[in-house]
């Protein structure tokens, strides 16, 4: 007999967690509390409530975390211009620490003995959820069904769902196993099916948020983004809450075929994995943020951020959001953003995000009197460059002289 009387399940209402809900009831014979985080996945939220009710769940948490997600997780990550392995904007990774945080809070509120999640034993999410949970409650019990049961394929999960009358949305019109998908305000991801062959092109009807660049409008669209302390605060002159601003950028980017990515990435557990991602708003924000930093950040500060970014990206990808090293690095990053104020103008056209202008009335380090190719009235003394170059060449001149003696 299990000593777990009550467990909080991170519940999306999709195939995996729908099966897990019934499995927990059958195997652990415990009360299940479901928690669904509304972080912008839209249509998945209310069906999750109905599915949970169908299986007798009495405590159902569906929390609107969209603003907190973007304000406290997405925006801090974008202050660092964070990209994993040169391409991935970490849409799945950055949602996990928030879900872990709320799981632990609900476990405390409901006096649950354990928390559970639907991450597989092969994936990164098990690490992210559990590192977060342990960081916030070191004594919590975690149930990871994928590491316990024998339902180790999509087909077995579908068979279990059919046997137990668990409704499953088929996300592919041709039938068979659905894509493994994850959606939030920052992105939507796709894995599985024929994507497991890295040589196979993704099907066009798989994509949900973006049109193909070929079908995007022939007319470019301009937009202005205003920044304060490194975060976007308005779009085209209209102040918007963080989650609404990102949602609108998703709409605009999707309309213009922006933000598709087909990637083979290195998972933390050691294997390579192929996934496809749509991140239209995030793709726009990355380009815009780098543009406003280009005129407001000191050169060495900007280069230091670029040096540190891959480590910061790995911390998020690998699940270390709540670690002391990430918190420490965030403090440094946030300090650099105090002068990142101003606006950026962008042009969206057939999959491209093109910076066409940027300015800061208060913090620009661009001095036209010095940068000009015309007469600068003595603002810059060209003769200073000679000594500067000669001093920087000193070590190379010494080495060359030494080689010439041989």
CA angle 185, 188, 193 (to 5 degrees): 165
Phi then psi dihedrals of residue 175, to 5 deg:
80, -170
Q: Which residues are catalytic?
A: 16, 96, 125, 180
Residue 34 DSSP code: E
Contact 88, 265 (CB under 8 A): yes
CB atoms within 10 A of CB 147: 11
Q: Give the Cα separation of 382 and 216 in Å (integer).
A: 48
Pick from 15, 39, 348, 53: which is nearest to 179 by CA? 15
- At 62, is the secondary structure helix, strand, or coil? strand
Going by C-alpha positions, the residue among 4, 105, 25 that lies closest to residue 61 is 105
The whole-angstrom separation of Cα 52 and Cα 12 is 10
The residue behind tokens 């690095």 is 329
List, edge to edge, every strand of the sheet that includes 141-143.
60-64, 31-38, 6-10, 114-116, 141-143
CA distance 147 to 119: 9
Calpha distance 62→37 (Å, rounded): 6
**φ and ψ of 270, to 5 deg:** 120, -20
> Helices 125-136 and 96-110: crossing angle, nearest 10°?
50
The Cα–Cα gap between 188 and 250 comes to: 11
- Alpha helix (H) residue ranges in 179-225: none
Per-position DSSP letters for 240-282, written without gaps between them: --HHHHHHHHHHHHHHTT--EEEEEEE-TTS-EEEEEEE-HHH
Provide CB contacts within 8 A for 303, sequence distance 6+. none
Helix ranges (H only) for 137-205 are: 154-163
Q: Which two tokens stand for residue 292?
A: 């406003």
């Amino acid at each position: 007999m299990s000593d777990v009387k009550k467990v909080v399940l991170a519940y999306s209402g999709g195939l995996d967690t729908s099966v897990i809900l019934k499995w927990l009831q059958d195997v652990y014979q415990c009360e299940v509390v479901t928690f669904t985080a509304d972080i912008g996945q839209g249509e998945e939220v209310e069906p999750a409530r109905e599915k949970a009710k169908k299986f007798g769940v009495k405590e159902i948490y569906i929390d609107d975390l969209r603003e907190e997600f973007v304000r406290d997780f997405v925006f801090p990550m974008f202050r660092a211009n964070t990209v994993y392995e040169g391409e991935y904007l970490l849409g799945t990774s950055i949602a996990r620490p928030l879900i872990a945080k709320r799981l632990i809070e609900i476990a405390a509120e409901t006096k649950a003995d354990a928390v559970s999640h639907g991450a597989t034993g092969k994936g990164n999410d098990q690490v992210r959820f559990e590192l977060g949970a342990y960081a916030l409650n070191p004594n919590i019990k975690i149930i990871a069904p994928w590491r316990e049961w024998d339902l180790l394929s999509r087909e077995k999960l579908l068979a279990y769902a059919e046997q137990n009358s668990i409704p499953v949305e088929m996300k592919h019109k041709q039938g068979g196993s659905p894509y493994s998908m994850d959606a939030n305000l920052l992105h939507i991801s796709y894995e599985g099916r024929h994507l497991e062959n890295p040589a196979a092109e993704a099907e066009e009807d798989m994509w949900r948020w973006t049109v193909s660049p070929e079908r995007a409008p022939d007319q470019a669209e301009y937009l202005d983004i205003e920044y304060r302390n490194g975060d976007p605060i308005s779009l085209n002159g209209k102040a918007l809450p963080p989650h609404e601003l990102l949602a609108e950028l998703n709409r605009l980017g999707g309309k213009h075929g922006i933000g598709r990515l087909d990637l083979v990435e290195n998972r933390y557990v050691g294997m390579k994995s192929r996934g496809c991602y749509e991140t239209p708003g995030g793709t726009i924000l990355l380009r815009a943020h780098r543009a406003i930093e280009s005129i407001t950040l000191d050169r060495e500060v900007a280069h230091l951020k670029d040096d540190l970014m891959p480590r910061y990206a790995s911390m998020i990808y690998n699940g270390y959001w709540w670690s002391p090293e990430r918190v420490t690095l965030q403090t440094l990053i946030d300090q650099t953003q105090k002068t990142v104020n101003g606006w950026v103008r962008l042009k969206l056209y057939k999959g491209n995000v093109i910076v066409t202008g940027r300015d800061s009335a208060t913090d620009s380090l661009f001095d036209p009197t010095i940068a000009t190719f015309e007469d600068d009235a003595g603002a810059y003394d060209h003769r200073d460059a000679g000594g500067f170059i000669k001093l920087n060449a000193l070590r190379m001149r010494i080495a060359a002289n030494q080689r010439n003696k041989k």
